[in-house]
Structure 1
Amino acid sequence: MAVHFHEEDLPEGVLAPGPVAIDTETMGLITRRDRLCVVQISDGKGDEHLVRFGPNSTYDAPNLKKVLADPERIKIYHFARFDIAALEYYLGVMAAPVFCTKIASKMTRTYTDRHGLKNLVNELLGAEISKQQQSSDWGGKVLSDAQRDYAASDVRFLHRLRDILIERLEREGRTELAQACFDFLPTRARLDIAGWEDKDIFSHE
């Protein structure tokens, strides 16, 4: 297992075919204001790749965009809504089709309100991950070893979590409903970008 660091694009041919786990690190939580700094991606075979974008980046990353735009590759996220919005806004790519482990957790682990990635990894896989670097400065010239390890850990477990959550969705008869939620996420992300991030347009109010 290794963490590979790249500047401005993913090298060609470093990922095996099949689903990829994806996460992003940004300067904050407001997509239009807080620039995309790092994209993490893994094919689930043991290595993680981190692609860093500088403050003056043009986000011209053809190899990464090709993977993200591939309609044959499922993209696995934890809280996909945020990540796919950032990827579309900065890279101009809708990184779908989607499987969101947070949504799947909420639809299957109804016995708890703890649906963070740390909680999922601990309960379902018996592993521990640190969230200490979550709010650190991702826009600096150098990423620390702790930041790199944190970023890599955010995609390291997603393939295994997806496998377990697929079984639970099937067990509870919620696979079709979950898929409908996943299919809507690109639209939800676009609504966020367009200014409806804090509004429930389906409510009566």
Structure 2
Amino acid sequence: MDEFRVIESPAEFDDAVARLAGGEGPIAVDAERASGFRYSQRAYLIQMYRRGSGTFLFDPPQIPDFSALQGAIHSDEWVLHAASQDLACLREVGLDPERIFDTELAARLLGMPRVGLASVVEELLDIRLAKEHSASDWSTRPLPESWLRYAALDVELLIDIREKLGARLDETGKADIAAQEFDAVLHKEAKPAAAEPWRRLSGIHAMRNARNLAVARELWLTRDALASELDVAPGRLVPDASLLAAARVMPTTRRALADLREFNGRASRSELDRWWAAIERGLTTTDLPAVRVPNDSPPPPRAWAARNPEADARLRIARAGILDIAEQVEMPVENLLTPDHLRRVAWSPPAEVTADAVGEVLARLGARPWQIEATSQTIADAFVEAAQTVEDAATSAS
């Protein structure tokens, strides 16, 4: 592997910017976070490689301003693997590309059986990448030399991967499709903050009592505030399962909470007063949460046959048609068309079922032009067939 430089000072940063600006071709970019260890999703290491420039490992906590780097390279193509995972933390420090090549997404569009970076590298370059540090705590300082070498190697191979994937996209006629997908990833709007983020508690959907939900809410909010203050991943303080156990049991005294074996985690006893205060608030509040939260999503497909037989027929027949197309173009069906888009148009089809009308609905939902071109006629035909199938069944029953 090439030599790499760890950038920790203003002088080193200025030199790295000059070298990257003077390099050739696209720029490989990767970022390492401390997911599962820290509350924030900030980048604790940013790796870049460019031919003619070298490999640079930037230490964001030591670099207060990335604007010079952004100004030097923002208009060049950035090559990332699974770009949607890194763009947010790169933007947090002011790094935002104008165009990207996503090697993971390209591998999906090409129908490669495994699309993790190590698998793609092995298939295309016949090099085995060790991934032993992928889930490490990258907020650790100083970073071990072996971790730094692992991080550097990830970006050093991305340009070679990009070239091989780009050639395959050209050979299969998928280059324009890939360009639309890369652009969609780059410009995808961030999801708005959830109105009730505590409802993301794993397993909370099984709770059907407002008082239990109130206790769960107060515990989650309390844990989230403490996790944010300490910059520790919430589950490392008290896991979701423990919060839910306390919300189900609803202990009526501090002692009962302390005796609850299912309530565990490294902060479950050291912060017992904090958790008990949260439970008390949940037990006494008059602001009870709704047991069921209305949304505009269609019901689960398993309920369609009973609630809306024609929608069920539309979905079943259209799914089969979409699966056939996915097999023909050799890509995962979920990349051909987002499953939720198909469910929504099947549940609420246009008044006049034509390919153009279906395409308009898909476009409003966020489907790309190539997806609409590939699927809208098949979906429209499926909907017409479904209507006839339901009508024939009704006639036979009568």
Please indicate the TM-score interval, normalised by the length of the shorter structure. 0.7 to 0.9
- Which residue does 1:4 correspond to in 2? 5
- Which residue does 2:99 correspond to in 1? 97
Does 2:81 match 1:82?
no
* Gaps in structure 2 of 5+ consecutive residues: 195-199, 201-296, 298-337, 348-398
Q: Is the 8 A contact 1:44 1:156 kept in 2?
A: no
Q: Is the 8 A contact 2:7 2:58 kept in 1?
A: yes
- Identity of counterpart residues, as a percentage? 24
Instruction: Describe the SS at the equivalent of 2:18.
Output: coil
Q: Is the 8 A contact 2:79 2:158 kept in 1?
A: yes
Q: Could you tell me how far apart the structure 2 residues matched to 1:91 and 1:14 are? A: 20
- Which residue does 1:13 correspond to in 2? 18
2:60 to 53, 62, 71: 53
Q: Is the 8 A contact 1:101 1:161 kept in 2?
A: yes
Q: Is the 8 A contact 2:19 2:53 kept in 1?
A: no
- Which residue does 2:360 correspond to in 1? none
Does 2:108 match 1:145?
no
- Which residue does 1:191 correspond to in 2? 190
Measured after TM superposition, the shift of residue 47 of structure 1 is: 2.8
Moved more, 142-151 or 31-40: 31-40
Larger Rg: 2
Amino acid at match of 1:164: K
Q: Could you tell me how far apart the structure 2 residues matched to 1:103 and 1:33 are? A: 26
- Which residue does 2:281 correspond to in 1? none
- Looking at secondary structure, tell me which structure has more helix per residue: 2
Residue pairs, 1:103-182, within 5 angstroms: 103-108=105-110, 110-112=111-113, 114-182=114-182
* Gaps in structure 1 of 5+ consecutive residues: none
Amino acid at match of 1:141: R
Aligned residues, how many? 195
Q: Is the 8 A contact 1:2 1:46 kept in 2?
A: no
Output the TM-score relative to the length of structure 2.
Answer: 0.45
2:69 to 55, 61, 64: 64
C-alpha distance 46-157 of structure 1, shift in aligned 2 (>3 A): farther
Q: Could you tell me how far apart the structure 2 residues matched to 1:29 and 1:137 are? A: 8
Q: Could you tell me how far apart the structure 2 residues matched to 1:152 and 1:182 are? A: 24
Q: Is the 8 A contact 1:20 1:76 kept in 2?
A: yes
Measured after TM superposition, the shift of residue 191 of structure 1 is: 1.9
Instruction: Describe the SS at the equivalent of 2:44.
Output: strand
C-alpha distance 118-22 of structure 1, shift in aligned 2 (>3 A): same
Q: Is the 8 A contact 1:8 1:53 kept in 2?
A: no
Q: Compare relative contact order (CA 8 Å, sep 6+) and give the higher one, 1 or 2.
A: 1
Q: Is the 8 A contact 1:76 1:101 kept in 2?
A: yes
Moved more, 42-51 or 142-151: 42-51
Measured after TM superposition, the shift of residue 14 of structure 1 is: 1.5
Measured after TM superposition, the shift of residue 30 of structure 1 is: 11
Measured after TM superposition, the shift of residue 126 of structure 1 is: 0.8
Measured after TM superposition, the shift of residue 59 of structure 1 is: 3.8
How far does the alpha carbon of each residue in 1:88-126 deviate from its partner, in whole angstroms, 9 at most, with x for none? 1x1133223100000110111x251x1000001111001
